[in-house]
Amino acid sequence: MKLSCTFLLGALLLLSACSQPVSIVPEPVKLTLSSGHYTLDSNTTLVFLNVAEDDEIRYYTQDFIFRHLGLSLAISNEQQPNWDTLQIPDAIVFQKNTDENELFGDEGYSLSVSDKTVYIEANTNAGFVYALQTLYQLAPSDVTAKKPASIPLRTATVVDYPRFGWRGNLLDVSRHFFDVEYIKKHLDVLAMYKINKFHWHLTDDHGWRIEIAKYPKLTEIGAWRVDRSTVPWLEGEPPQEGEPATYGGYYTKEQIREIVAYAAQRNIEVIPEIEIPGHCSEILASYPEFACDTFNYYVQIGPYWPPKAIMCGGNDDVIQFFKDIVDEIVELFPSKYIHIGGDEAVKDNWVACAKCQQRIKNLKLANEEELQSWMIREVEKHIHQYGKRIIGWDEILEGGVSSNATIMFWRGWLGDSVIIKAAERGNEIIMTPTNYCYIDYYQADPATEKQKAIGGFLPLQKVYSFDPAYESFPESAIPFIKGGQANLWAEFLFAPENVEYMLLPRLLALSEGLWSPKANKDWEYFVNKLPAQKKRLAALGYNYCDKVALITDEPKQAPAADTEELKTE
Ligand code: ACM
Ligand code: ZN
């Protein structure tokens, strides 16, 4: 009886696999489907060619297949170096190129699924990781790890590599804190859609989230705010005298290392962001001596606009503070970049501060914007000593910036000229304009959305239309456009399911804009792929928005987007 049930289940899966349209996101460079299938089951072995015996890609692959498809596959010791003479039936073969295939670059791969075997070729482990993601999407979309049996994989050949090297997502963990378990789940879904940069917004007015040994008050005080989680974000009252600060949290160094390693296995580079010189109420609540004034700063609750807290630019201890933070951060993050913020620093306190004004005078700076630039350059020099580079929000251009800095362009309303000028100076640019990339905006009519958002309107179709290399850019600017990123600020994201709802499926739309060749993008085709993707996401336990909103759906009463007034990040 048991046997016949298993057989029936297998037959049903096979029937459904062959009748289901294949849905791969992001769309590969080249995909050729045929009508057969390869049966993945517990007899399938994993073969790694030109891969060291202790290379962790072996264990990552086993773990991936177990977690997504429920099968524990053995690794065969087959080490035949020449595929032409090799026949390994019933195997998934991973062959690392000894002569680099230029087309594949650092992240590309080819994948061939025949009815007898699966063959994957790549220059790097990153290519293997992405081939696995594509292979998983050739399985029926409702397969889960709980139903291990024989899994029919659609026969296909794929050649695939990315259009842009920077395919990012920012997650704000200051406005709301998300624990290690969720961050890992978040990284998993980024990897599924071939996103390779996780921009971790670790510090802001509403909470400091990273353990720093030299400044323990950052996490003793700065990581905690009074609990206003039972009232809507916009209605939180300031703390009362003596009220305990109980809401928040932070990541220990050990947890950070664990997450960075977890991300690296998935070809994701983690870029930490430490805000300089504004968005720092939580620092000033912990170390009031770094302020220009004697105001009683506290870790912010709810709305805080304009964010007036700013680190004193005339105080040498402040510069040393940031250098000390860098010293501890570089130990944790192998990433080439440290993000130093630089956005929305309201400089009223600097205008009124004798120390700041004295610094401006001594250094013969023109104004407070140049004081910010000077501060950032001081920290940048320190970061360079570690062989790393800075990224800053586009405000860092305002008082002058070195050509080594990477600019993260976010103010969509500024127009192209700012970006073009930065490219002319030689700055790398990452495109995260509000009007295509701010996925904290509403994705459907606010009147019908249960999930509150910061405002704005960014429907799925608009994200899908995003191309970081704007047609209006001159040819000469294009090489400086490194890619793009979806930013998820967390004011209204109280729990992981809120994060997932805002992220999915807009992340899928973004991923096609950053990975797939422009010529392969097709909105109607993408929409047809979504039901299978949603099934897959549901099988993996993710929440998502089920509406497919169009650009033309913009409600008449949509909260104003793309204006400076709207922003509360
Ligand atoms: C930003 O949204 N303030 C970078
Ligand atoms: Zn000052």
415 and 388, same domain (yes or no):
no
The answer as to whether 166 is a domain residue is no
DSSP state string for 298-357: ----S---S---BB-TT-HHHHHHHHHHHHHHHHH---SEEEEE--S---HHHHH-HHHH
298 and 444, same domain (yes or no):
no
150 and 23, same domain (yes or no):
yes
326 and 417, same domain (yes or no):
no
The answer as to whether 395 is a domain residue is yes
| Ligand 1 lined by 393 (C-beta under 6 Å) | yes
Alpha helices in 415-465 (DSSP H): 417-425, 434-437, 460-464
- pLDDT given at position 80: 62
Q: How many angstroms separate the Cα of 93 from the Cα of each of 148, 286, 307?
A: 21, 54, 54
The answer as to whether 124 is a domain residue is yes
248 and 178, same domain (yes or no):
no
Ligand 1 centroid to Cα of residue 69, in Å, is 39
107 and 241, same domain (yes or no):
no
Q: Say how many domains are in the chain.
A: 3
Ligand 2 centroid to Cα of residue 381, in Å, is 21
- pLDDT given at position 532: 97
CATH number at residue 93: 3.30.379.10
523 and 440, same domain (yes or no):
yes
Range of the domain at 63: 5-160
Structural tokens at position 252: 């220990």
Q: DSSP character for 535? A: H
Predicted TM-score of the model (pTM): 0.95
15 and 44, same domain (yes or no):
yes
| Ligand 1 lined by 369 (C-beta under 6 Å) | no
- pLDDT given at position 145: 80
Burial of 121 (0-12, 13-18, 19+ CB in 10 A): buried
The answer as to whether 241 is a domain residue is yes
The answer as to whether 314 is a domain residue is yes
181 and 253, same domain (yes or no):
no
Ligand 1 atom nearest the C-alpha of 344 is 3
The answer to whether residues 141 and 20 touch, using CB atoms and an 8 Å cutoff, is yes
Ligand 1 atom nearest the C-alpha of 487 is 2
- pLDDT given at position 259: 98
User: Residue 360: how many CA atoms within 13 Å on its side-chain side?
Assistant: 19
Q: DSSP character for 478? A: G
For ligand 2, an ion, list residues with CB under 5 A: 292, 312, 314, 353, 355-356
| Ligand 1 lined by 569 (C-beta under 6 Å) | yes
The answer as to whether 167 is a domain residue is no
Place of tokens 């961050």: 183
Cα dihedral across residues 112, 115, 117, 118: positive or negative: positive
Taking Cα atoms as reference points, which of 274, 352, 268 lies closest to residue 314?
352
The answer to whether residues 17 and 152 touch, using CB atoms and an 8 Å cutoff, is yes
Choosing from 360, 379, 405, the residue where a domain stops is 405
CATH number at residue 340: 3.20.20.80
The answer as to whether 165 is a domain residue is no
350 and 476, same domain (yes or no):
no
Choosing from 160, 186, 221, the residue where a domain stops is 160
287 and 399, same domain (yes or no):
yes
The answer as to whether 93 is a domain residue is yes
| Ligand 1 lined by 350 (C-beta under 6 Å) | no
Q: Is residue 241 left, alpha or beta, with left meaning phi > 0 and alpha meaning psi from -120 to 50?
A: beta
Choosing from 405, 423, 455, the residue where a domain stops is 405
| Ligand 1 lined by 337 (C-beta under 6 Å) | no
37 and 148, same domain (yes or no):
yes
Annotated catalytic residues are 204, 279, 344
Low-confidence ranges of the chain (pLDDT < 50): 1-14, 85, 562-569
